[in-house]
Structure 1
């Protein structure tokens, strides 16, 4: 007893009450006492104190123990009531017990008090638990009866010979047969089970008999209207002591809708997996035909078809095959090199396209729209065709054939569910091909443009050097001749001639620099290594430039046409640095790694937000980065850019070695 007991003591003599409390404390019973001696006080204590135990004297000057007992039984019948009295004859003691007292203890034998209290409390607790269990049992039985009544299930008692007794009439709702049909033994339960499911049901019963004797089995029955329904049968096998079966106590659940829902969910999952597979494989398929064959493989697997094809309407109103599975090629005597084109829209295929509707027939030879099959083609035993639509119009169809046992509505649902993903995948692959072709054309035009630009630069450079340069030099010689003819009295004119000669020298230098920038002669004469070093030396006049070239034979790694592109890349990068970077230091490195040469330029300028720049439209970004990228691609290389605001920019160009000479159109 860890909790303190609330003990109500009905006693008029204080010393006796103290003796009672003393005995209880000596026995180690924790308690809170409340002492009363009148009826009013006793009644008030029952309500306010709510005792766990009552100890009462048999006789009091102003009250009576028996009256207190009766009052306590009315107020708190489960609370133990023990008489503690000085004199209590045997007859009186028996009378108190018969009236409902828990026990009695004589005051001259208080050593019995503690054991009596403990026993009384224990019995009261057991009585309370028993009452609670009885209440719970009654409630459980009520709930069970309510559950059986409201459950969408049929409770039964079955026997080894498949005869069965049903508890209520709900069996008629489930099967269409009345309870009386089974009570009169006109029907046995096995009569309703489908023959193909009966063996499994019997096996489940025998297995449970040899183990736990509980079973759960699912099977199909055919009701009175001939409809098939799924049933879940849960039961317990009740046996005699010798192990022989007495009966089966079980419940039948109608799980038909759940089974259908599970089948629909499984079908949806399989269909979704098929769609994902189509779009996933679309990423690796190189051609429309390859993708079409993949789509057909998925559809044939889902429907159990032997072969299939995908056809598309052409501009003349005929049908072009986009794809056909291998079995179709093997069995059909058609030219193996190309897919059939411009086929007439006749037969079952034409019907699918004309009517924009799926056609399912398991007797195509007897169909009114039949048109036969090509020579060598196997007999068509079943056909399933679904139109393909794009942009609101029929563009073609998917055709499948020769499923064993014929096609079902589920096969039709599968085909119709996958038709749109097939179209989307094919159109996306076609768009990818068109985009790839467009990119190739654009890259070719860009290459031709850059090649023409380089030739034009060279032509202009030569004109500047040969024609304008020579004209300026001739003009310079004439000015010197004029200067020499002037006399000492023409000092002002001599000074003006010298100023013009100085200005003419600047113009000549600018023309030479412009000619060199347009088409550096050093690149043609000495190669890429010397041209880059000359470019870097000129740039270092304005910036702190650190550069290293690890390759001694840089010129021999690239053909002349590639060298000019590499030179232009560096020229463009350094020009951008001088215009925009506000840098004070530039590091340049060239090194070979395996079959690639890496060119890197890094500055400590203001940098820029690379992500923001790359997300801008091409017209907003300008041509600088695009030109660098295109020049690198012309050489089969790539470009990587790192930039951060306030921390500078690093551009790395990687170009393969040995694969350029025959790829670049300018060669």
Structure 2
């Protein structure tokens, strides 16, 4: 059995309990005093979610009184979606489980609104029962600050991303720790390429040393700076001039961490200012050294500046000129002219004509010199305008034009003499500009019957030309001449139609001249009607000679083939028969054999001559087959490869005489290639393409200068090309030669099919 406590023990136990109660009451009283004056809300929550204690601050945060808080369950304070979470947290803490007891959430106030809070919880024993001790801190202000900070950061980020400046941040060693996207526009580098790079590595070489010293000073004495100008290297090798601004950046301990700043591209401004300084320097140099005189006047026409060149122009010093009036500067006639101009301009300015203030005024005035002589000058002047476009003075340039005046006087006399010469020329002459005759002499009107007005109405000088092809050629020649190009040949023939409808053949020659300050062509016309008649007569005689020559060739060919060749063949057969006699001595046999061999070669030579004089098979096989055989034979004898091709010829009826001419043209063309071209290949094309029959002869030889070659052929009396031209003319056709040195040559012959071929 347990021993019963004595009275003394009971009294001692009661005393201890009373002391413990007193201490607990004291502790609760102290807790209540501290909690009621705390800045944060304090609540004690039991396992069933009711508040057994709440201080004043907790009640204020949630909109309740202290008494009401003791009746409020945690369910009423939590958002509906968080009630299970709150209840679970309380129960787990009361059970003593170990997990995070610090978090942020939103609580529902008495008014139904929510308030952001920061909660810190712990497990306690409250009056003998486990409970949840919770500290509630209202973070509404903090949240607002965070939102404001976030918004501010967004605005800053937006500003950095959209500003035309490049924003950056450097550490204490000058390395980039941040670079905005704009660095791509500035330097051509992506931000990732710049971050980690030292700023000195991006500077132009001449700026790196001074910038290194400057940045050291900024580290030793941190302060904001602006207006620091450097030149930086772009990724593409170009350079950009920037104005740098920066401000110190400190860490949380207050120590300098680096600099935050931005760069502004001032390349254009910098270059503009530099150009302006250079321009001002050049202007002053020019003003003080040019022969022209630069001057300024105020609105009362008093001289306010004159350049030193005035002394070279007129003999007066700058000071003497500054004190002169217009009456002293100008001769009487020029003074009158100047006053008329000045009064007119000032009158228009007074009427509000602002456009007049922006005009440049030009006048030619005669001025007095210090030695008593006069000089002619050209004056160009403009008003000096203020920021409101109001005239504040006049600036001008004076140039000595005495030589020009004398030249103009000489020119007037020269033009008068030229006009008399132009009008008295016996041959027609016209000045042509832009396809229009702008001047003709009387001889032109006498020959063609047109006045200048008639020509203008008819569409210009080219309207007189009869052939459209000749018009095209004339237009090209005039254009080349006006543009300063050499025209070859210098002379050419063309047919013009007079006012009476008469066709007048003329030889035309043109030269390039300047007329009224613009290029023009001075064209002379020589009436070659009589010469044309003589040339036609000569051509007719040549045609007859060629025809006679062909007939003689045919006769000679027949004689060679039918008589001489036959006689030689008989002799050849006879010698061959003699060789069969066995009684011949070896010496005689050898001599007869040699005679036989010579006879055989002579027969072949005569046969070739006969074929050359009269193409074999031309009548029997026709032109195409005969030319094909000739080209084949030519290739075998010369080693020049000939590519012959014809088209459409089979459908044409061609006389024997015409075939002879066409055959001779091709024959002569190939002979020229063999003699002069050094070609390896030749091309012959014979094509009937209505309304023309076209022969094209080409080679891949060394080519030649056409004009020089024609002159040389004429001097050397070579008839090959001329013979081809005459035969083409016999068939009423034309021949064109094209050749470039080193690129071969081409001959194109066009014969109308309507010609009696």
State the TM-score, normalized to the length of structure 2: 0.36
State the TM-score, normalized to the length of structure 1: 0.40
The structure whose residues are more often strand, as a share, is: 2
